[in-house]
Structure 1
Amino acid sequence: MGGNDYMALTSGPNQSSVITSEYKRKYMGMVLGNFTSVIKAVYDKGGRKFGFQNVGPLGCMPASKSMAASTMPTPGNTTEVNCIKEPQILAKVHNIALSKLLKKLATQLPGFKYSLFDYYTSLAQRTLYSSKFGFKVGKSACCGSGAYNGNFSCGGKNGTVIYTLCSNPSEYVWFDAGHPTESTNKQLADLLWNGHPNVTAPYTLKMFFEM
């Protein structure tokens, strides 16, 4: 929860470069406030075991890198771009605050238990070191157009948008400008289900089903 909120903040008409730190702080407070309200509403209905993933590596998305490439003096020279700094910072700060929030809720709400999956690190690792996880391509999307196939043109738009589509999506970490492939999601789901404590904690979903 939160990825789309922060992408809107960094890629909207009011680009993040002109948004003040104070505005970002208040914006994050709004996101986490809404998050807390929904958790408490579900808790009041009887929910006790909650599974969460933190915000992913927004700056590593093909969409973020494509937008950055379009503003570079030499947009064709993007081979050294791994992840864009500003979206990454927003995601990291949110994730630190989210972890603290869940620990706080666990002390306030009797019986509240949660599983928090480090989606950020897990997806960033696969993007930057794709071959270690069985992928051939980590930094560009299977389907799309522009730099890194990072334009949301996959599937065409009224039959007029040109896009490319890879022959084997399972070789890619990213399917389109902002979404991982099925193969990537399978690996991430396995980690959420029963990952190491440094990835999914303090419980895994498997632990919840065994309680």
Structure 2
Amino acid sequence: MGLKTQLRNFKNMEKQLRKKLGASEIKTLLSTAVYMFSIGSNDYLVPFITNSTLLQSYSKKEYVKMVIGNITTVIQEIYKIGGRKFGLSKLIPLGCFPFSRAQKLSSTGGSGCMEQFTLLANYTIEHSLKLLKSLRRAN
């Protein structure tokens, strides 16, 4: 399920709870909840699994900025609704997943980790930290 669909579902749930609980209860609930985001894995692995040309359309840095931009937009939307506590899970080195290692074996005949996945993960971690700092300053 894509991030935009998840946000739409969240907004629908918020409206239903607002009707059921009332404005003050939902405000408390939303402001004390913790919103966890797990980023990157699907964004980087799915284009390879599906043989998508998506990663070929952007430089690695542009693609990571697009992923981070999508997350930023969703966090800002949840903040507008009342969310205040956010967390981003650390992205693990994707290049060493069994799938990634199998991709390297099938595409190059070599063994070991696929460095391009690991580079995307590292760049995402770097930009995620910048994102959190900038959002904290803005609010």
Q: TM-score, normalised by structure 2?
A: 0.62
Superposed, which structure 2 residues align to 1:18-167 within 5 Å?
Answer: 19=56, 22-73=58-109, 78=111, 81=112, 83-109=113-139
Deviant stretches of 4+, over 6 Å: none
- 1:9-40 per-residue CA deviation (whole Å, 9 max, x = no partner) reads 44442579x837x5333322221111011111
SS for the counterpart of 2:59 is helix
Contact 1:57 1:88 survives alignment (8 Å): yes
Give the fraction of aligned pairs with identical amino acids, expressed as a percent: 35
CA distance, structure 2, for counterparts of residue 11 and residue 65 of structure 1: 13
Contact 1:56 1:91 survives alignment (8 Å): yes
1:13 aligned onto 2:51: yes
CA distance, structure 2, for counterparts of residue 4 and residue 93 of structure 1: 15
What amino acid is aligned across from residue 95 of structure 2 in structure 1? G
Q: TM-score, normalised by structure 1?
A: 0.43
Runs of 5+ in structure 2 lacking a partner? 1-38
CA distance, structure 2, for counterparts of residue 62 and residue 97 of structure 1: 25
Contact 1:10 1:87 survives alignment (8 Å): no
What amino acid is aligned across from residue 81 of structure 2 in structure 1? K
CA distance, structure 1, for counterparts of residue 50 and residue 126 of structure 2: 24
Residue 41 of structure 2 corresponds to: 3
Higher strand share: 1
SS for the counterpart of 2:86 is strand
CA distance, structure 2, for counterparts of residue 106 and residue 94 of structure 1: 18
What amino acid is aligned across from residue 87 of structure 1 in structure 2? F
Runs of 5+ in structure 1 lacking a partner? 110-211
Pair 60,66 (structure 1): closer, same or farther in 2 beyond 3 Å: same
The Cα of 1:88 is off from its aligned counterpart by 0.2
SS for the counterpart of 2:73 is helix
CA distance, structure 2, for counterparts of residue 12 and residue 27 of structure 1: 17
Residues paired across the two proteins, number: 101
- 1:47-73 per-residue CA deviation (whole Å, 9 max, x = no partner) reads 111122032211010010011112344
Higher helix share: 2
